[in-house]
Amino acid sequence: MPQDMPPVGGYGPVQYKRNLPASGFRPGTWLLAMGVVVTYGFYKLGQGIKEQNELAREKMWSRIHLIPLLQAEEDRDLVRRHLADQAREKELLGENFKVYNSDRYVRPTYAVTPAHTTK
């Protein structure tokens, strides 16, 4: 018995490829478009960061201009309280004790709270 042979002229081509149209742009185009979008986004981000830096500079300088004023007021108050405290101590104890071994001004840890205030 003769062996089965292919048909004369050979088999027809087997369709293994998808026969669908490729939709959309080429991958390279998509990549480029993404690059453009990201670059634009980073550009805008940079603009925002720069403006934030300038706003921070403005805020910082507005505070820098105010610091001496506020600190001077605070210092005067501290000096007033310190001198009043010293006078009170002198009145009660007769002399002022030096409690710290340094000439630096130390903000008081304890403060007198008068029982009666007229305010």
Partner 1 sequence: MASRKPVFNQQVLYDTTPLPDSIPAVKEVGATSAPLLSAAFFIGARCRPYNDDYMQCKTENPGKGEFECLKEGRRVTRCAATVYVTSLHPDIFIRPKIPNTSTECPSVFVYYADEPDNRSTDADTLAVPEVEWKLNQCVFDNLKLEKTIPNTPKDQIPVHLRTKQIYAHYPILRDRGQPSLGKSIDPPSAKAQAQTQAEAPAS
Binding site for partner 1 (CB under 8 A): 47-48, 50-52, 54-55, 57-59, 61-69, 71-73, 75-76, 78-85, 87, 102-114, 117-119
Q: Supply the minimum distance, in Å, between the C-beta of residue 110 and partner 1.
A: 6
In the bound state with partner 1, the residue whose beta carbon lies nearer, of 35 and 48, is 48
Q: Whole-angstrom Cα distance, residue 3 to residue 7?
A: 12
Q: Supply the minimum distance, in Å, between the C-beta of residue 101 and partner 1.
A: 13
The SS3 assignment for 87 reads: helix
In the bound state with partner 1, the residue whose beta carbon lies nearer, of 18 and 104, is 104
Location of structure tokens 């007033």: 80
Q: Whole-angstrom Cα distance, residue 12 to residue 38?
A: 49
In the bound state with partner 1, the residue whose beta carbon lies nearer, of 35 and 74, is 74
Q: Supply the minimum distance, in Å, between the C-beta of residue 49 and partner 1.
A: 10
Residues 6+ apart with CB under 8 A from 88: 112
Nearest residue to 97 (alpha-carbon basis) of 3, 23, 47, 88 = 88
